Amino acid sequence: MHSVSPHSARLALVLALALPSAPLACSEQTEQAEQGQPDPDAAAVGVPRVRIAQVREVVPQVSSRHLVLLTPWRQAQISPRYGGQIAELLIAEQAEVAADELLVRLIDADARGSLISAQASRTSSEKRLADLDRQLADARKLFETGAGTRREVERLETEIATTQASIRQASGQVIQSRDRRQANEILAPFAGVITSLDAELGEYASPGARLATLSELDILALDVPLSEFEMVVHERGALEFQVMVRQQPIEAALEWIAREADTGTNTFPARLRINNADKRLRAGEAAEVLVRGDKGKPELVVPPTAVRWEATQAYLLRATAVATGDQAREQLERVDVSVHEDVDGQVAVTATGGASLAAGDRVVASGPSTLVDGDQAIMIPYAKAGGPDLD
């Protein structure tokens, strides 16, 4: 008598359990066919799959990005109006100074001497004029009584006129000497920081030579070049500026825009004002300036892949749901359009040929190129991580 191995016994048991299931499946399909119920998977065979996007209404914008440097709001080159030797140097580099603070004093010996001489000359001429006035009064009395001559009166009148001219000249010399003496004391024109120092104590400073640079850093400036079209948007009051420094937004105010374009770049410089009272920013730092604004009326836009072409005619396939559930279908309708500029990564379109297109309409964003007007398709939903919102 032959013994049966354990492996053969297990194989026989598996075959016995599996064989009844095949007739059962066949019987279920036969039962559905006999009852007239369609098979959902069989009905979907051959129906094209498409992705759907919504027509959106977007306002076109002009935008540009600029990388510019922060600059002092005001900057002055400190230099003498008259030459002279530096007697006192009262500033140091990076020192803060107040408005009208004394920065440099030049030796003023020549100016002091000229001032004293001019004042003495004017005083002497004034005394001489007073004496001539008394002499003229006496000469006129003598002439009226017949004891004097007209020539003497005329001589005194001429001498008085000459003396008056001398007084005016001396007065001008006094003003000039006083101005020169005051110019030897160089004051700060505004409060700020000495950002560079180019003078040494005791050296001779030539007229106009730069001694130091004074910068106002409590307020910083950004000079941004604007295009002609951005100027038009600004005239409508729709231009905005966003400033980023160290990847942080910074509040800035538009101070002015030039009325004349730069001849080299054909752009219009715009100056932005940044409050820097806390000294958190430094001149010379790079700033990113985003310029943007609405440049027109709202337009209808669709994804670039939604635009189809037949020769030179562009068109969309509008999708309308005609069934739901397991039998969900999209009825496709051709809408001829004209294509305009790109807006925010989308394509602006306008319906033509009497067709209508509105925001919220659903159109085929991608699918077989063989789709035509009147076809039906099944919508494939977008993945959660991307794709347009269809709700």
**What is the Cα–Cα distance from 217 to 275, expressed in whole angstroms?**
9
Tell me: do 372 and 303 sit in the same domain: yes
- Res. 199: pLDDT tops 50: yes
- Tokens for 220, please give them: 């910083």
- Residue 127, amino acid: K
Give the domain range for residue 329: 49-60+298-379
CA distance between the termini of the chain? 75
- Res. 363: pLDDT tops 90: yes
Confidence of residue 23 (pLDDT cuts 50, 70, 90): very low
DSSP assignment, residue 305? G
Domain boundary among 260, 294, 328: 294
Using alpha carbons, select from 362, 385, 389, 384 the residue that is nearest to residue 50.
362
Share of the chain above pLDDT 90, in %: 50
Using alpha carbons, select from 67, 63, 61 the residue that is nearest to residue 223.
67
Q: Please state the φ and ψ torsions of residue 348, each to the nearest 5 degrees.
A: -80, 135
* pLDDT, average across residues 211-223: 96
Looking at the structure of the chain, the number of domains it has is 3
What pLDDT sits at residue 235?
80
Q: Is residue 269 part of a domain?
A: yes
Tell me: do 251 and 303 sit in the same domain: no
* pLDDT, average across residues 68-90: 93
Q: Tell me what percent of the chain is helix, strand and coil, each rounded to the nearest 5.
A: 30, 35, 35
**What is the Cα–Cα distance from 377 to 318, expressed in whole angstroms?**
11
* pLDDT, average across residues 330-335: 93
Confidence of residue 274 (pLDDT cuts 50, 70, 90): very high
Q: Which CATH number fits the domain that encloses residue 307?
A: 2.40.420.20
Tell me: do 237 and 304 sit in the same domain: no
Q: Which helix (H) or strand (E) is 135 found in, with range?
A: helix 109-145
- Res. 36: pLDDT tops 70: no
What mean pLDDT, rounded, does the chain reach?
83
Domain boundary among 294, 329, 347: 294
What pLDDT sits at residue 147?
84
Tell me: do 302 and 250 sit in the same domain: no
* Residue predicted with more confidence, 327 or 370: 370
What pLDDT sits at residue 22?
39
* pLDDT, average across residues 309-318: 94
What pLDDT sits at residue 99?
95
- pLDDT single digits (tens) 81-119: 888 899 999 999 999 999 999 999 998 766 677 777 888
- Residue 386, amino acid: G
Confidence of residue 33 (pLDDT cuts 50, 70, 90): very low
- Tokens for 112, please give them: 């002091």
Tell me: do 269 and 306 sit in the same domain: no
**What is the Cα–Cα distance from 173 to 82, expressed in whole angstroms?**
16
Domain boundary among 294, 316, 332: 294
Q: Is residue 4 part of a domain?
A: no
- Res. 347: pLDDT tops 70: yes
- Tokens for 327, please give them: 């039998």
| Least confident residue range of 127-131, 208-212, 381-385 | 381-385
- pLDDT single digits (tens) 113-125: 777 788 888 888 8
Q: Identify the three-state secondary structure at position 158.
A: helix
Tell me: do 178 and 117 sit in the same domain: yes
What pLDDT sits at residue 380?
87
**What is the Cα–Cα distance from 307 to 348, expressed in whole angstroms?**
10
* Residue predicted with more confidence, 305 or 230: 305
Q: Please state the φ and ψ torsions of residue 123, each to the nearest 5 degrees.
A: -65, -40
Q: How many CB atoms lie within 10 A of CB 345?
A: 9
What pLDDT sits at residue 29?
46
- Report the range out of 63-67, 191-195, 338-342 with the highest average pLDDT: 191-195
What pLDDT sits at residue 20?
45
Confidence of residue 45 (pLDDT cuts 50, 70, 90): low
Q: Is residue 266 part of a domain?
A: yes
What pLDDT sits at residue 228?
85
- Res. 18: pLDDT tops 70: no
What pLDDT sits at residue 14?
39
What pLDDT sits at residue 109?
64
Tell me: do 223 and 272 sit in the same domain: yes
Confidence of residue 200 (pLDDT cuts 50, 70, 90): very high
- Answer positive or negative: Cα dihedral of 346, 348, 351, 353: negative
Q: Is residue 90 part of a domain?
A: no
Tell me: do 157 and 223 sit in the same domain: no
Q: Is residue 319 part of a domain?
A: yes
Degrees (nearest 5) of the Cα angle 331, 314, 361? 40
Tell me: do 220 and 281 sit in the same domain: yes
Q: Is residue 387 part of a domain?
A: no
Tell me: do 286 and 320 sit in the same domain: no
Q: Is residue 362 part of a domain?
A: yes
Q: Please state the φ and ψ torsions of residue 329, each to the nearest 5 degrees.
A: -140, 155
What pLDDT sits at residue 383?
63
Please tell me the pTM assigned to this model: 0.54
Q: Which CATH number fits the domain that encloses residue 280?
A: 2.40.30.170
Q: Identify the three-state secondary structure at position 330.
A: strand
- Res. 27: pLDDT tops 80: no
- Our measurement of the distance from residue 152's CA atom to the centroid of its chain's CA atoms, rounded to an integer in Å, reads 80
* Residue predicted with more confidence, 37 or 24: 37
What pLDDT sits at residue 162?
92
Give me the residue label for tokens 């009166």: 153
Integer-rounded Cα radius of gyration of the chain? 47
Q: Is residue 226 part of a domain?
A: yes
Residue 225 and residue 268 in contact, taking contact as beta carbons nearer than 8 Å: yes
Residue 295 and residue 61 in contact, taking contact as beta carbons nearer than 8 Å: yes
Q: How many CB atoms lie within 10 A of CB 186?
A: 24
Tell me: do 354 and 335 sit in the same domain: yes
DSSP assignment, residue 111? H
Tell me: do 127 and 276 sit in the same domain: no
